Amino acid sequence: MENRAETREFFMTRRAKLRPEDTGLPDFGGTRRVPGLRREEVALLAGVSVEYYTRLERGDLAGVSDGILDALVRALQLDDAEREHLFDLARAAGPAPRSARRRRGQVSDSLQRLLDGMTGIPAFIRNGRLDVLAINPLGRVLYSEAFAHPARPVNLARFCFLDEGAHRLYPNWQEAAEVAVSLLHTEAGRDPSDEGLTELVGELSTRSEEFRTLWARHDVRLHQSGYKDFRHPVVGDLHLSMDALAMPAQRGLTLTAYSAEPNTPSQERMRRLAGQVQGAAALSG
């Protein structure tokens, strides 16, 4: 990713979502060349000059103070995920010593044992560009559509947009696609120098019109908890709670786990799925 271009698109798409009446500013009419707020209106709301805001929107965030960034957050009415993304873009714009560059985490044997010990919970560890670096047996069965092909590591964004199995696995494919793109945009703000991410975005942009459309929206999100729906070929529909935990000791990695609410059809179906995994393990052992 190119930090200046990423910053420019983020600012432009955020102000395009706002109208003067959303911010308390008067709308004096006239033809607007672009949707949403004008640059001078954002500058007024943030308490900076038009020239300074224009410089920021063009991608020059190096050295910008936290106070100015928070003023832009308020002016553009950014949510928590968007605020974090803006601060990530500002950090990435400044000089960083080599020692401060993000390290590509590796999954240790002990972490794989931790995953394998979660026998009733599908769980996996991924990096910021959605490569699945480690997964437990129940997680592999849940994501059997994604693991049907031999290419490794499985990339959940590539699977979502380029594999028909994703439309079978995700009953609400559109929501899954939006989440995947938002997570990739979030990672692009954290680490614009990630060549693997740049190559992935280029591949998906070339091969998927749906990806290009969603990427242009420049949405970001904090995907820490929520729900996800699956349609498994063996047990059917599953409505599962999702928890994603950042791993401070393994920088850039996230552990994602799914669980079913007690006394629900999804819980019984997850038990059946876990029983199949345990039965297969017993036979192979």
Task: Give the tens place of pLDDT for each residue, 34-70.
Answer: 779 999 999 999 999 999 999 999 999 999 999 999 9
Q: Which residue has the higher pLDDT, 183 or 26?
A: 183
Q: Could you give phi then psi for residue 271, rounded to 5 degrees?
A: -65, -40
Say whether pLDDT at 79 is over 80. Answer: yes
- Exposed, middle or buried: residue 239 (CB in 10 Å: 0-12, 13-18, 19+)? middle
- Between 123 and 33, where is the model more confident? 123
Q: Note whether 116 and 228 are same-domain residues.
A: yes
Give the Cα separation of 285 and 277 in Å (integer): 12
Whether residue 117 sits in one domain with residue 258? yes
Instruction: Work out how many domains the chain is built from and give that number.
Output: 2
The answer as to whether 250 is a domain residue is yes
* Interval 234-256 mean pLDDT: 92
117, 197: one domain: yes
Q: Are residues 48 and 114 in the same domain?
A: no
200 and 260 inside one domain: yes
**Mean pLDDT over all residues of the chain?**
91
Kindly list the distances between the CA atom of residue 227 and the CA atoms of 62, 70, 240, 280, in Å, as whole numbers in the listed order: 37, 30, 6, 28
pTM value is 0.89
CA pair distance 39, 51, nearest whole angstrom: 9
Tokens of 40: 């001078």
- Is residue 102 situated within a structural domain? no
Which domain covers residue 91, as residue numbers?
Answer: 3-96
- Among candidate residues 96, 130, 164, the one where a domain is terminated: 96
**Strand, coil or helix: what is 232?**
strand
pLDDT of residue 248: 79
Is residue 43 domain-shared with residue 156, that is, in the same domain?
A: no
pLDDT band at 96 (very low <50, low <70, confident <90, very high): low
In a domain, 104, yes or no: no
pLDDT at 285 over 80: no
Residue 140: the pLDDT is 96
**pLDDT single digits (tens) 128-158:** 999 999 999 999 999 999 999 999 999 999 9
CATH code of the domain covering residue 272: 3.30.450.180
206 shares a domain with 274: yes
